[in-house]
Amino acid sequence: MSEKRSNFPLPLSSVTGPVTRKPVERAPIATPQTATQNARSNSQGAATRAPVQPAPGPAGPAKSQVQPQTQTALPRSDLMATEAPRRAMAQRVARQGVKDPQVLSALEMVPRHLFLEPAMSAQAYADISLPIGHNQTISQPYIVARMIELLRGRGHPLRRVLEIGTGCGYQAAVLSCVAQEVYSIERIKPLHELAKANLRPLRIANLRLQYGDGMLGLPQVAPFDAIILAAAGLEVPRALLEQMAIGARLVAPLGAHVQHLQRIIRTGTSEWTSETLEACHFVPLRPGTA
Ligand code: SAH
Protein backbone atom coordinates (compact mmCIF):
# COMPACT_ATOMS: atom_id res chain seq x y z
CA MET A 1 0.00 0.00 0.00
CA SER A 2 1.28 3.44 -0.81
CA GLU A 3 1.64 6.14 1.82
CA LYS A 4 -1.28 8.00 0.23
CA ARG A 5 -3.52 4.99 0.74
CA SER A 6 -2.76 4.81 4.43
CA ASN A 7 -3.84 8.44 4.92
CA PHE A 8 -6.83 8.20 2.67
CA PRO A 9 -9.77 7.73 2.71
CA LEU A 10 -10.30 9.70 5.88
CA PRO A 11 -13.49 8.37 7.46
CA LEU A 12 -15.23 11.27 9.11
CA SER A 13 -17.10 8.86 11.30
CA SER A 14 -13.84 8.02 13.03
CA VAL A 15 -13.21 11.60 14.13
CA THR A 16 -15.42 12.15 17.09
CA GLY A 17 -13.68 14.74 19.25
CA PRO A 18 -15.34 18.01 20.24
CA VAL A 19 -15.68 20.51 17.43
CA THR A 20 -13.33 23.41 17.89
CA ARG A 21 -13.79 25.76 14.99
CA LYS A 22 -10.87 28.05 14.47
CA PRO A 23 -11.87 31.55 13.38
CA VAL A 24 -11.42 31.77 9.64
CA GLU A 25 -9.51 34.65 8.17
CA ARG A 26 -11.96 36.66 6.07
CA ALA A 27 -11.16 39.03 3.28
CA PRO A 28 -13.87 41.30 1.90
CA ILE A 29 -15.05 39.68 -1.31
CA ALA A 30 -17.79 39.94 -3.82
CA THR A 31 -19.73 36.70 -3.49
CA PRO A 32 -20.68 35.07 -6.75
CA GLN A 33 -24.42 34.85 -7.06
CA THR A 34 -24.58 31.53 -8.75
CA ALA A 35 -27.41 31.36 -11.23
CA THR A 36 -29.91 33.26 -9.11
CA GLN A 37 -31.35 35.19 -12.02
CA ASN A 38 -31.41 32.13 -14.12
CA ALA A 39 -33.15 30.10 -11.47
CA ARG A 40 -35.82 32.76 -11.26
CA SER A 41 -36.42 32.66 -14.97
CA ASN A 42 -36.48 28.85 -14.88
CA SER A 43 -39.12 29.01 -12.20
CA GLN A 44 -41.69 30.81 -14.31
CA GLY A 45 -44.83 28.78 -14.33
CA ALA A 46 -43.58 26.58 -11.52
CA ALA A 47 -45.57 28.33 -8.82
CA THR A 48 -48.27 25.71 -8.87
CA ARG A 49 -45.86 22.82 -8.36
CA ALA A 50 -46.57 20.68 -5.30
CA PRO A 51 -44.54 21.37 -2.15
CA VAL A 52 -41.56 19.16 -1.35
CA GLN A 53 -42.48 15.62 -0.51
CA PRO A 54 -39.92 13.47 1.26
CA ALA A 55 -38.55 10.81 -1.08
CA PRO A 56 -40.84 7.78 -1.06
CA GLY A 57 -38.88 4.91 0.47
CA PRO A 58 -35.11 4.55 0.45
CA ALA A 59 -33.13 6.42 -2.20
CA GLY A 60 -30.78 3.49 -2.57
CA PRO A 61 -28.18 2.21 -0.18
CA ALA A 62 -26.87 5.67 0.63
CA LYS A 63 -30.17 7.08 1.79
CA SER A 64 -30.22 8.00 5.46
CA GLN A 65 -26.46 8.23 5.75
CA VAL A 66 -27.07 11.69 7.18
CA GLN A 67 -29.43 11.37 10.07
CA PRO A 68 -28.99 14.53 12.05
CA GLN A 69 -31.99 13.79 14.23
CA THR A 70 -30.73 10.54 15.66
CA GLN A 71 -27.06 9.89 15.12
CA THR A 72 -25.13 13.08 15.52
CA ALA A 73 -23.64 15.14 18.27
CA LEU A 74 -25.75 18.13 17.21
CA PRO A 75 -27.98 19.75 19.80
CA ARG A 76 -31.53 18.64 19.03
CA SER A 77 -32.88 22.12 19.72
CA ASP A 78 -30.55 23.53 17.08
CA LEU A 79 -31.94 21.15 14.49
CA MET A 80 -35.54 21.70 15.47
CA ALA A 81 -35.10 25.47 15.30
CA THR A 82 -33.93 25.22 11.71
CA GLU A 83 -36.46 22.66 10.55
CA ALA A 84 -38.91 25.23 9.18
CA PRO A 85 -36.31 27.37 7.36
CA ARG A 86 -34.74 24.21 5.89
CA ARG A 87 -38.10 23.05 4.58
CA ALA A 88 -38.88 26.52 3.23
CA MET A 89 -35.53 26.61 1.44
CA ALA A 90 -36.16 23.24 -0.23
CA GLN A 91 -39.65 24.36 -1.26
CA ARG A 92 -38.21 27.54 -2.78
CA VAL A 93 -35.65 25.54 -4.73
CA ALA A 94 -38.47 23.28 -5.96
CA ARG A 95 -40.37 26.35 -7.19
CA GLN A 96 -37.22 27.44 -9.00
CA GLY A 97 -37.41 24.28 -11.08
CA VAL A 98 -35.55 21.47 -9.29
CA LYS A 99 -37.83 18.45 -9.48
CA ASP A 100 -35.87 15.48 -8.13
CA PRO A 101 -37.56 14.61 -4.79
CA GLN A 102 -34.46 12.90 -3.42
CA VAL A 103 -32.31 15.94 -4.10
CA LEU A 104 -34.91 18.19 -2.50
CA SER A 105 -35.16 16.03 0.60
CA ALA A 106 -31.35 15.95 0.87
CA LEU A 107 -31.35 19.75 0.73
CA GLU A 108 -33.97 19.85 3.43
CA MET A 109 -32.01 17.45 5.61
CA VAL A 110 -28.57 19.11 5.73
CA PRO A 111 -28.28 21.93 8.29
CA ARG A 112 -26.58 24.61 6.16
CA HIS A 113 -26.05 26.96 9.12
CA LEU A 114 -23.45 24.54 10.50
CA PHE A 115 -21.22 25.35 7.53
CA LEU A 116 -21.16 29.08 8.19
CA GLU A 117 -19.63 31.33 10.79
CA PRO A 118 -22.21 32.07 13.52
CA ALA A 119 -22.38 35.72 12.41
CA MET A 120 -23.80 34.57 9.09
CA SER A 121 -26.11 31.81 10.27
CA ALA A 122 -29.15 34.08 10.05
CA GLN A 123 -28.63 34.07 6.28
CA ALA A 124 -27.96 30.34 6.07
CA TYR A 125 -31.32 29.45 4.52
CA ALA A 126 -31.47 32.31 2.04
CA ASP A 127 -30.80 31.27 -1.55
CA ILE A 128 -27.44 33.01 -1.77
CA SER A 129 -23.77 32.12 -1.81
CA LEU A 130 -21.86 33.40 1.22
CA PRO A 131 -18.18 33.86 2.11
CA ILE A 132 -16.36 31.01 3.86
CA GLY A 133 -12.91 32.65 4.02
CA HIS A 134 -9.88 32.48 1.72
CA ASN A 135 -11.83 34.31 -1.01
CA GLN A 136 -14.12 31.29 -1.46
CA THR A 137 -17.86 30.86 -1.03
CA ILE A 138 -20.44 28.31 0.02
CA SER A 139 -22.56 27.68 -3.08
CA GLN A 140 -26.12 28.87 -3.42
CA PRO A 141 -28.58 26.10 -2.42
CA TYR A 142 -30.38 26.28 -5.78
CA ILE A 143 -27.21 25.60 -7.76
CA VAL A 144 -26.16 22.77 -5.41
CA ALA A 145 -29.52 21.09 -5.95
CA ARG A 146 -29.59 21.78 -9.69
CA MET A 147 -26.13 20.33 -10.29
CA ILE A 148 -26.86 17.20 -8.27
CA GLU A 149 -30.13 16.76 -10.13
CA LEU A 150 -28.20 16.97 -13.41
CA LEU A 151 -25.80 14.30 -12.16
CA ARG A 152 -28.60 11.95 -11.21
CA GLY A 153 -30.74 12.28 -14.28
CA ARG A 154 -33.44 9.65 -14.65
CA GLY A 155 -32.41 6.42 -12.99
CA HIS A 156 -28.69 7.13 -13.23
CA PRO A 157 -27.29 5.43 -10.12
CA LEU A 158 -24.85 7.45 -8.06
CA ARG A 159 -22.52 4.89 -6.60
CA ARG A 160 -19.14 6.60 -6.52
CA VAL A 161 -19.12 10.39 -6.80
CA LEU A 162 -16.19 12.82 -6.90
CA GLU A 163 -16.54 16.48 -5.93
CA ILE A 164 -13.85 19.00 -6.84
CA GLY A 165 -13.86 21.92 -4.40
CA THR A 166 -14.99 20.82 -0.92
CA GLY A 167 -14.95 24.39 0.41
CA CYS A 168 -16.78 24.29 3.73
CA GLY A 169 -18.20 20.83 3.00
CA TYR A 170 -21.86 21.73 2.46
CA GLN A 171 -22.37 20.29 -1.02
CA ALA A 172 -20.42 17.17 -0.04
CA ALA A 173 -22.91 16.61 2.79
CA VAL A 174 -25.86 17.00 0.41
CA LEU A 175 -24.24 14.62 -2.07
CA SER A 176 -23.70 12.04 0.66
CA CYS A 177 -27.49 11.79 1.04
CA VAL A 178 -28.02 10.75 -2.58
CA ALA A 179 -24.88 8.76 -3.41
CA GLN A 180 -23.33 5.60 -2.03
CA GLU A 181 -19.77 6.91 -1.74
CA VAL A 182 -18.64 10.51 -1.99
CA TYR A 183 -15.03 11.69 -2.36
CA SER A 184 -14.33 15.40 -2.17
CA ILE A 185 -11.05 17.23 -2.86
CA GLU A 186 -10.04 20.71 -1.69
CA ARG A 187 -6.84 22.52 -2.70
CA ILE A 188 -6.76 25.06 0.19
CA LYS A 189 -5.55 23.34 3.35
CA PRO A 190 -7.40 25.53 5.90
CA LEU A 191 -10.66 24.96 4.00
CA HIS A 192 -10.04 21.21 3.95
CA GLU A 193 -9.60 21.44 7.74
CA LEU A 194 -12.69 23.63 8.08
CA ALA A 195 -14.77 21.10 6.14
CA LYS A 196 -13.55 18.31 8.42
CA ALA A 197 -14.56 20.34 11.49
CA ASN A 198 -17.94 21.26 9.99
CA LEU A 199 -18.74 17.71 8.95
CA ARG A 200 -17.52 15.93 12.07
CA PRO A 201 -20.73 16.35 14.10
CA LEU A 202 -22.79 15.00 11.20
CA ARG A 203 -20.87 11.70 11.29
CA ILE A 204 -21.35 10.94 7.64
CA ALA A 205 -20.01 7.45 7.03
CA ASN A 206 -19.98 7.52 3.22
CA LEU A 207 -17.94 10.71 2.72
CA ARG A 208 -14.18 10.94 2.31
CA LEU A 209 -12.24 14.20 2.19
CA GLN A 210 -8.94 14.68 0.42
CA TYR A 211 -6.53 17.62 0.41
CA GLY A 212 -4.98 18.09 -3.04
CA ASP A 213 -5.39 19.40 -6.56
CA GLY A 214 -8.77 18.23 -7.79
CA MET A 215 -7.76 18.89 -11.39
CA LEU A 216 -5.83 15.63 -11.13
CA GLY A 217 -8.87 13.75 -9.82
CA LEU A 218 -8.41 10.70 -7.63
CA PRO A 219 -6.96 8.01 -9.90
CA GLN A 220 -6.57 5.60 -6.97
CA VAL A 221 -10.37 5.54 -6.49
CA ALA A 222 -11.58 6.03 -10.11
CA PRO A 223 -13.69 5.29 -12.09
CA PHE A 224 -16.52 7.52 -10.87
CA ASP A 225 -20.21 7.40 -11.82
CA ALA A 226 -20.43 11.13 -11.41
CA ILE A 227 -18.06 14.08 -11.03
CA ILE A 228 -19.10 17.55 -9.92
CA LEU A 229 -16.94 20.66 -10.03
CA ALA A 230 -17.68 23.50 -7.63
CA ALA A 231 -15.23 25.88 -9.31
CA ALA A 232 -15.10 27.14 -12.91
CA GLY A 233 -12.32 26.45 -15.38
CA LEU A 234 -12.07 27.20 -19.09
CA GLU A 235 -12.26 23.52 -19.85
CA VAL A 236 -12.74 20.24 -17.98
CA PRO A 237 -9.36 18.78 -16.98
CA ARG A 238 -8.47 15.74 -19.08
CA ALA A 239 -7.73 13.63 -15.97
CA LEU A 240 -11.33 14.04 -14.83
CA LEU A 241 -12.73 12.95 -18.20
CA GLU A 242 -10.51 9.87 -18.04
CA GLN A 243 -11.70 9.02 -14.53
CA MET A 244 -15.37 8.82 -15.58
CA ALA A 245 -16.88 5.34 -15.89
CA ILE A 246 -18.63 4.62 -19.21
CA GLY A 247 -22.08 6.16 -18.84
CA ALA A 248 -20.88 8.51 -16.09
CA ARG A 249 -21.91 12.15 -15.90
CA LEU A 250 -19.85 15.20 -15.08
CA VAL A 251 -21.33 18.61 -14.28
CA ALA A 252 -19.10 21.68 -14.21
CA PRO A 253 -19.29 25.43 -14.57
CA LEU A 254 -17.17 26.51 -17.53
CA GLY A 255 -16.01 29.95 -18.59
CA ALA A 256 -14.30 33.03 -17.17
CA HIS A 257 -16.51 36.14 -16.94
CA VAL A 258 -19.44 34.43 -18.58
CA GLN A 259 -19.96 30.94 -17.24
CA HIS A 260 -22.39 28.17 -18.10
CA LEU A 261 -23.07 24.80 -16.56
CA GLN A 262 -21.81 22.02 -18.80
CA ARG A 263 -22.95 18.41 -18.55
CA ILE A 264 -20.69 15.77 -20.05
CA ILE A 265 -21.61 12.11 -20.46
CA ARG A 266 -19.00 9.47 -21.25
CA THR A 267 -20.53 7.37 -23.97
CA GLY A 268 -17.55 5.15 -24.82
CA THR A 269 -13.89 4.50 -24.13
CA SER A 270 -12.90 7.60 -26.05
CA GLU A 271 -16.26 9.28 -26.57
CA TRP A 272 -17.94 11.98 -24.55
CA THR A 273 -21.02 14.09 -25.32
CA SER A 274 -21.52 17.51 -23.87
CA GLU A 275 -24.39 19.95 -23.44
CA THR A 276 -24.29 23.58 -22.37
CA LEU A 277 -26.96 24.55 -19.87
CA GLU A 278 -27.81 27.60 -17.80
CA ALA A 279 -25.63 30.57 -16.91
CA CYS A 280 -23.93 30.51 -13.51
CA HIS A 281 -21.21 32.23 -11.50
CA PHE A 282 -18.55 30.29 -9.59
CA VAL A 283 -15.14 30.96 -8.08
CA PRO A 284 -12.26 29.92 -10.36
CA LEU A 285 -10.80 26.43 -10.59
CA ARG A 286 -7.07 26.75 -9.84
CA PRO A 287 -4.21 24.28 -10.24
CA GLY A 288 -1.97 23.07 -7.43
CA THR A 289 -2.47 23.39 -3.70
CA ALA A 290 -2.37 26.30 -1.23
N1 SAH B 1 -18.58 22.84 -2.55
C2 SAH B 1 -18.57 24.08 -1.84
C3 SAH B 1 -18.22 25.24 -2.72
C4 SAH B 1 -16.83 25.67 -2.48
S5 SAH B 1 -16.28 27.01 -3.49
C6 SAH B 1 -19.91 24.27 -1.15
O7 SAH B 1 -20.46 23.33 -0.66
O8 SAH B 1 -20.41 25.34 -1.02
C9 SAH B 1 -15.19 26.15 -4.58
C10 SAH B 1 -14.00 25.51 -3.92
O11 SAH B 1 -13.23 24.95 -4.98
C12 SAH B 1 -13.07 26.46 -3.18
O13 SAH B 1 -12.94 26.05 -1.86
C14 SAH B 1 -11.74 26.33 -3.93
O15 SAH B 1 -10.60 26.40 -3.10
C16 SAH B 1 -11.88 24.95 -4.54
N17 SAH B 1 -11.01 24.68 -5.68
C18 SAH B 1 -10.66 25.47 -6.73
N19 SAH B 1 -9.80 24.83 -7.55
C20 SAH B 1 -9.61 23.59 -7.01
C21 SAH B 1 -8.82 22.45 -7.36
N22 SAH B 1 -8.04 22.44 -8.44
N23 SAH B 1 -8.87 21.36 -6.57
C24 SAH B 1 -9.65 21.33 -5.46
N25 SAH B 1 -10.39 22.37 -5.05
C26 SAH B 1 -10.38 23.48 -5.81
pLDDT in tens, 47-65: 222 222 223 333 333 333 4
Per-residue confidence (pLDDT) for residue 111, from 0 to 100? 96
Whether 139 sits among the annotated catalytic residues: the reply is: yes
Q: Is the Cβ atom of 49 under 6 angstroms away from ligand 1? A: no
Q: Is the Cβ atom of 199 under 6 angstroms away from ligand 1? A: no
- The rounded Å distance from CA 166 to ligand 1 centre is 5
pLDDT digits (tens, 9 = 90+) for 114-138: 999 999 999 999 999 999 999 999 9
Q: Is the Cβ atom of 167 under 6 angstroms away from ligand 1? A: yes
What letter represents residue 10's amino acid? Answer: L
- Spans of the chain, pLDDT less than 50: 1-65, 67-71
Of all protein residues, the one whose alpha carbon is nearest to atom 16 of ligand 1 is 165
d(CA 6, CA 238): 27
Per-residue confidence (pLDDT) for residue 73, from 0 to 100? 59
Per-residue confidence (pLDDT) for residue 191, from 0 to 100? 98
d(CA 159, CA 206): 10
Contacts of 30 (CB under 8 A, 6+ apart): none
Q: Are 261 and 252 in contact (CB under 8 A)?
A: yes
Cβ burial, residue 101 (10 Å; 0-12/13-18/19+):
middle
Per-residue confidence (pLDDT) for residue 81, from 0 to 100? 84
Q: Is the Cβ atom of 252 under 6 angstroms away from ligand 1? A: no
Contacts of 159 (CB under 8 A, 6+ apart): 179, 180, 181, 225
The phi and psi torsions of 231 (rounded to 5 degrees) equal -145, 150
d(CA 248, CA 187): 24
Axis-axis angle for helices 170-178, 101-109 (nearest 10)? 130
CATH 3.10.129.10 fits 2-15+30-40+66-82+154-280, yes or no: no
